[in-house]
Structure 1
Amino acid sequence: MITRVLLSLALTLTPPTPPAPTPQTTPEATPEAGVQAGIETGQCPVAVPPGTTCGFLVVPERRDAPGRTIKVGYAVHRSTAPARRPDPVVYMSGGPGSSSLQLTGFLSQMFPDRDVVTIEQRGGKYSWPRLGCPELAQAMLDRLTRPASPLPPAEAAAQCRTRLEQQGVDLRGYTTKEIAADVVALRGALGYPSWNLFGVSYSTRVMVDAAAADPGAVRSVLLDSFLPQSVPWYDDVRRNLDDTLAHLGLKDRFDAAVRRLDATPARVTTVDPLRGAEVRARLDGGDVATLMAEALHETGVIAVSASLVTALANGHDEPLRPLTDAVGDGLTSHELGLYEAVQCQDEIPSNGFAAPSRLFTVDVDKAVCDAWKLPAAKPSAATTQAPVLVVAGRFDPTTPPRTSEPAARALPHARYAEFDGVGHAVFLTSTCARERMAAFVADPASAGTGCARPETGVPPRLAAADLRVTGAPYAISKAPWLAAPLALFALVALAQLVAGALRGRALTAFAGLAGVASAGLLAQSAYGLVSRNETALAVGLPAAVEAYGWLAAVAVALTLASLVVRRTLGQAGAALVGAGFLVWWFAWFL
């Protein structure tokens, strides 16, 4: 959902591009003397606004053992603002393994008076080599669908590593230190004397390291959903979920849902994105806890979390379909080989793993790293003297304020801002956060607080009773033909209204009016919900829709009464369509 919005923003037209800085490939422009970085220009692999150029930064795969080179994708959007500032914003997505380039247009609107540079992570989707790991993705999907002979994650990871090594990949070159060095090298290669660093989630670590390695060239640092190196993330992950649910007032209800699903696992139809086929997933309480930890990243899910969790606790499994579909989307949107290489070297070694986790992704990552046996990276303990703004979502289940705020206070010149109603990656949904971040980049010395305009990007939180839980709207979004009974009922009702009014047949006209009113109110209710929070349709519709069904029943009753008075083929057809609609409505839709 967010992706569609971002892509549309990326296509927004901008004026022609101004001259670009002169590229440089001098040793001084790179983090280590004697190691040079070069630029290769190329076509942009994603939709970007006019005035954007793309290319590759060519760097050693391992700076401690130069030889083989790799390519790191990047894009540069040149600002055409009359008061264009000389120091750009450089952005990297999180993950590890997430892509950055598709946000170029979105960020160019966030910082219109500056060039925007988006840089991929080495090994990412738009870099070379691309460290995908479909073997592991399939094993994780099979963990949910449980086929007769699932491949253990450790074996899948071994197959993935063997394939990557046959391609010449040295996984030891894919660490936070090397990714940060790529950021520093790109600045020099593009010819910018200074710039502003912007990281989100995992890439906040990258940007702190880059700021420490290139102190004279960093004007300011934006850290969204800060993930400090001092935090043992795997050891904290279940506590983070529990804390978030407690802040939302939903922990007891969610624990009840977990107990229910442990006793009787849910069966959910989903699509295997790698095989392109429908499969049946079996979800127990631990599986659903894993899904919820990911789902609560999204601000839209947070807004409907009361209805979602209450439905699960009360025995409704319908909301599990969109959560399960999101697993496949997430696995295919990240480069899992890169993700695991970074986690195994930078994250896993700092965790104790005192007990098995109910979150299956934690156990999978541990099994992969045990199989790969990559050397642990030395913690950098990096810091920066540059001005820093750390923004956090109050309900973030991955980088919660409990850990991000103390880490922000530990940076010498950092300010911290927390946004209510928001989860992970604050800047994607909060207009207030984007305004605050842009103001900080404009004047890093300013201690400005608050926003000039009311928040418009964060949907209001709904109470459990505000939604009528049903899986029908989500199913219709996947297969629109499922809404055919509603469309047919509305057309027949409209025909009844017109015919009854023209011929002076009051029963027929009132039957049509009631039918048109019920269909119209339903459409209006759904549209109103979508305009506030598109994600809500994955859980249900406003509770008032139940009354619209009874209004439709009145329309059918009037049609039957009209049929008794005047037995015509048209009235019989209308009664048949109405009866079929009521069966569809009460037996399937609700």
Structure 2
Amino acid sequence: MKSGDRARASAMLAKLVQEYPQSERGWYLLGMCVPDREQRLFCFRRVLAINPNNPDAGRQIALLSKPEAAPPPPCRATPTPPLVEPEPVSKTFTPTQPLPETVSPFVYEDSEVEEGTAESLPYEPAIPEKPAGKKQPAKKKQSNAPIYYAIAASVVILCVVGLGALYMLGTTGTLTSPFQAQTPTQIVPPTLAVLPSATPQPPTPIPSPMPTVAYSPTYEDAPCQFDAPSNVRVTCGYAIVPEDRTGDPNHTIRLAVAVFHSRSSNPAPDPVMFLQGGPGGEAVQLSADAYRVLVQPFLAERDYITYDQRGTGLSEPALVCDELDKVYRQDIYGNIEISTRELVYQNAFLSCAGLLQAKGINLQAYNTVENAADLKDIVKLLGYEKVNLYGASYGTRLALVTMRNHPEVVKSAILDSVMPVETNWINEYPNVANYTLTNLFASCKADPACNLAYPDLETVFWDLVRELDANPVTLTTSAYPMGTVTETIDGSYLLSVVMGLSKTTSLINTTPQTVYRLKDGDYSTLIAAQYALPYALDGINPGLYISVMCREHVLDTTPENLRAASEQLDVENFIWRPFYGDLEKMFNACKSWGAVGPVLGEKDAVISEIPSLVIEGTFDSATPPQFGKQVAEKLPNSYYVEFSNQGHVPTATDSSGCAMRMALNFIANPGVEPDRACLSELPRVEFLVPYTGTPPLELKRQRVFGVTLDVPKDWIFTYDGFFVRASSPFDITQVSALRAAISIRN
């Protein structure tokens, strides 16, 4: 078929939009191919009905509305990504505004080409790009979907007529996606990520769903649902915002907000706003529970604001998944057969999604872009002009998106343990694991005491991984009062344990000891850890977690990349159990959740001149230092600080107070680099090693229950007759004095 066969291309595209009436790309390309002016107007109006933010369709309508409109330009050669067979995620789709009532002007002699209808429109799944040369795995069920997407791909050939396509949108060498929102005069270069420069320009807002019709967020005061500290004034309420800012503005959600007011009689006008991680973590209750660590340091000079992100905590609706919670508990209690475990999790996963959707919840609206818009609305509703963002873990990603999309409300940003917007954590996990393990092994080797106690730690670890994979060990612990916890320990489990220990500042020093204990058949560390398993999901809302992870990570990659990641390391369990099974199955699980991938530009790196303090912990296995460095390079007014003895979120875990002091100094004067002097005073990580008698223990004498004891001076007395060493949460070394009533008879 020769290039430029527009009639045939039009017929093929008409067939495509009949099968997928909500295909924005299909309607747009059809509009560029048909010759009749009314037909073209109809197509572009359908595009705007699907996506009112599509600037190219609006531009084409404006051009066609001019009396002197030129003949239709040739169809644009839009690069089409390689195709993946889509799986329907929803039976219905509600457009943001009513579809045009105009009767379709399309009439074809080919009886196979018919006009689609607007009823029961299937949602068009995102089509992720896959690497060239890879073949899709065979599917048991076949559909016509690949045929129609192949038609879309072939349109590139059918519609190309020389270089005319380059001028279609009035540009001279830039092909702009029809999905990319931009100002009329703006040209976006065809780069995947914006490179930093000496004087970067403010970033262009991503083509994310922003309000197309006016809406008015409101605020309702409400009693605080937690015990507030007695010496501070706390006010609470709900911000009421649209669930989907591209949909019905009257379909609203309620976001729980808490404001801890400054103790100052003249507080600074710019409060700090804490953004919780997860995604899916509760922020309001956490701020109350961790008041002294997270909140109190800021109140001397300014207010502290936090809110439960949409779908979490006290916000309404909360994306609660009772079925997943039940299955998780049955699993850790050993009540699910290994042979059926994957199926049981899949059923719970689908049940959760179905129940939430049955309540009218649009799961696609629970994402970072909408979170950032919520943040902006809350700031305005509370009457503040600007805030200082304080993001931890996933909260840093939310902060970065806010800095890009709503810079008008941000004065400065503390980014503690950074998750870059452009980073796909799943694809990066093998690199993160390699960094974590390499850093751990090197740190132990450089420590004479650790290297002596645990020689050749790296070899021992990998030998142990292979041994546990070949001969898994089942551990059962009576986790009173929750029940008996059962876990199968294999190589993947060991990797997860080591990654978790390295992430947690208070447990970093136990990691070499744990590996060697396991080598010697001592599972005491893992048994102690099992007591926490029943509480592992406390404070995390699974619905938001799944929605964000699916959109911004799983569906931001391809099945081929997922498979490649799983082959680099045995990382089956590195992500949460709702995705139980191999990594490739996560892809299908996310589509069954109803998730779609990010829109074009949503994952581009953020460039911003907003002053920022980037904080990382050297041992962090969740957001390693290279993530923070990567982000700092694109923030010209940022300061990068790395804590050599810390894991995840140093501002909350650094017992020396250095990290929090630097954060406070930065907020007080964001234009001046914080004093780094305390970094040189950080104690190094002292790995736990067996006591050799050197140095000798300093003893103290204490009388307990009428018994005089000589115990180590720095051991902790528990008031029930026990003195514990407590060198780590897993240390069970103790001295005790026991007393019992006895009777002596002749």
Same structural fold, with TM-score higher than 0.5 when normalized by the shorter chain:
yes
User: 1:462 is matched with which residue: 683, 687, 705?
Assistant: 687
Residue number in structure 2 paired with 1:586: none
- Is 1:240 the equivalent of 2:407? no
Structure 2 CA distance for partners of 1:206 and 1:533, relative to 1, 3 Å: farther
Residue number in structure 2 paired with 1:509: none
Q: Is the CA contact (8 Å cut-off) linking 1:300 and 1:535 kept in structure 2?
A: no
Residue number in structure 1 paired with 2:301: 113
- Is 1:265 the equivalent of 2:472? yes
Residue number in structure 2 paired with 1:188: 380
**Following TM superposition, by how much is the alpha carbon of 1:303 offset from its aligned partner in structure 2, in angstroms?**
2.5
Residue number in structure 1 paired with 2:351: 159
Q: Is the CA contact (8 Å cut-off) linking 2:477 and 2:484 kept in structure 1?
A: yes
Residue number in structure 2 paired with 1:478: none
Residue identity in the other structure for 2:431:
R
User: 2:530 is matched with which residue: 299, 319, 324?
Assistant: 324
Structure 2 CA distance for partners of 1:450 and 1:277, relative to 1, 3 Å: same
Q: Is the CA contact (8 Å cut-off) linking 1:303 and 1:421 kept in structure 2?
A: no
User: 2:317 is matched with which residue: 122, 129, 132?
Assistant: 129
Structure 2 unaligned spans of 5+: 1-209, 442-456, 580-585, 694-702
SS at match of 1:229: coil
Structure 2 CA distance for partners of 1:252 and 1:83, relative to 1, 3 Å: farther
Residue identity in the other structure for 1:158:
L
In 1, the alpha carbon distance for the partners of 2:745 and 2:498 equals 48
Q: Is the CA contact (8 Å cut-off) linking 1:257 and 1:314 kept in structure 2?
A: no
In 2, the alpha carbon distance for the partners of 1:302 and 1:152 equals 34
Structure 2 CA distance for partners of 1:375 and 1:402, relative to 1, 3 Å: same
SS at match of 2:253: strand
SS at match of 2:645: coil
In 1, the alpha carbon distance for the partners of 2:329 and 2:430 equals 21
- Is 1:39 the equivalent of 2:219? yes
In 2, the alpha carbon distance for the partners of 1:466 and 1:134 equals 47
Structure 2 CA distance for partners of 1:531 and 1:42, relative to 1, 3 Å: farther
User: 2:517 is matched with which residue: 305, 311, 317?
Assistant: 311
- Is 1:354 the equivalent of 2:563? yes
SS at match of 2:530: helix
Matches of residues 276-291 of structure 1 in structure 2 within 5 Å? 276-291=482-497
Residue number in structure 2 paired with 1:231: 423
What are the superposed Cα offsets for residues 88-145 of structure 1, whole Å, 9 maximum, x if unpaired? Answer: 0001110000011122533332212110001111000111111122322343455553
SS at match of 2:314: coil
SS at match of 1:279: strand
Matches of residues 67-216 of structure 1 in structure 2 within 5 Å? 67-101=250-284, 102-103=286-287, 105-106=291-292, 107-111=294-298, 112-144=300-332, 145=334, 147-148=336-337, 149-150=340-341, 151-216=343-408
- Is 1:383 the equivalent of 2:603? no
In 2, the alpha carbon distance for the partners of 1:349 and 1:92 equals 24
In 1, the alpha carbon distance for the partners of 2:322 and 2:627 equals 33
Residue number in structure 2 paired with 1:371: 592
SS at match of 2:487: strand
Residue identity in the other structure for 1:231:
T
In 1, the alpha carbon distance for the partners of 2:361 and 2:634 equals 37
What are the superposed Cα offsets for residues 477-534 of structure 1, whole Å, 9 maximum, x if unpaired? Answer: xxxxxxxxxxxx974xx46xxxxxxxxxxxxxxxxx6xx33xx44x953559x99996
Structure 2 CA distance for partners of 1:411 and 1:454, relative to 1, 3 Å: closer
In 1, the alpha carbon distance for the partners of 2:461 and 2:521 equals 12
Q: Is the CA contact (8 Å cut-off) linking 1:73 and 1:127 kept in structure 2?
A: yes
SS at match of 1:536: coil
User: 2:236 is matched with which residue: 36, 47, 54?
Assistant: 54
In 2, the alpha carbon distance for the partners of 1:283 and 1:306 equals 17
In 1, the alpha carbon distance for the partners of 2:643 and 2:690 equals 25
Residue number in structure 2 paired with 1:508: none
What are the superposed Cα offsets for residues 438-469 of structure 1, whole Å, 9 maximum, x if unpaired? Answer: 1000000111331459868x78422332599x
Structure 2 CA distance for partners of 1:432 and 1:531, relative to 1, 3 Å: farther
Q: Is the CA contact (8 Å cut-off) linking 1:204 and 1:226 kept in structure 2?
A: yes
Alignment identity in percent?
A: 27
In 1, the alpha carbon distance for the partners of 2:308 and 2:526 equals 32
Residue number in structure 1 paired with 2:201: none
Q: Is the CA contact (8 Å cut-off) linking 1:124 and 1:131 kept in structure 2?
A: yes
Q: Is the CA contact (8 Å cut-off) linking 1:180 and 1:210 kept in structure 2?
A: yes
Residue number in structure 1 paired with 2:47: none
Structure 2 CA distance for partners of 1:409 and 1:154, relative to 1, 3 Å: same
Structure 2 CA distance for partners of 1:373 and 1:162, relative to 1, 3 Å: closer
**Following TM superposition, by how much is the alpha carbon of 1:321 offset from its aligned partner in structure 2, in angstroms?**
2.2
Residue identity in the other structure for 1:359:
E
Q: Is the CA contact (8 Å cut-off) linking 1:195 and 1:220 kept in structure 2?
A: yes
Q: Point out the structure with the larger helix share.
A: 1
Structure 2 CA distance for partners of 1:534 and 1:451, relative to 1, 3 Å: farther
Matches of residues 183-582 of structure 1 in structure 2 within 5 Å? 183-249=375-441, 250-270=457-477, 276-351=482-557, 352-355=561-564, 356=566, 357-362=570-575, 364-365=578-579, 366=586, 368-378=589-599, 379-381=602-604, 382-430=606-654, 431-451=657-677, 460-466=685-691, 491=705, 494=706, 516-517=709-710, 520-521=711-712, 525-526=715-716, 536-541=728-733
Structure 2 CA distance for partners of 1:341 and 1:467, relative to 1, 3 Å: farther
**Following TM superposition, by how much is the alpha carbon of 1:189 offset from its aligned partner in structure 2, in angstroms?**
0.4
Q: Is the CA contact (8 Å cut-off) linking 1:300 and 1:459 kept in structure 2?
A: no
What are the superposed Cα offsets for residues 202-231 of structure 1, whole Å, 9 maximum, x if unpaired? Answer: 111111111222223311011000100222
The TM-score normalised by the length of structure 2 is 0.59
What are the superposed Cα offsets for residues 26-54 of structure 1, whole Å, 9 maximum, x if unpaired? Answer: xxxx9776122111111222233330111
Q: Is the CA contact (8 Å cut-off) linking 2:363 and 2:594 kept in structure 1?
A: no
In 2, the alpha carbon distance for the partners of 1:538 and 1:270 equals 15
Q: Is the CA contact (8 Å cut-off) linking 1:61 and 1:70 kept in structure 2?
A: yes
Larger Rg: 2
Residue identity in the other structure for 2:240:
V
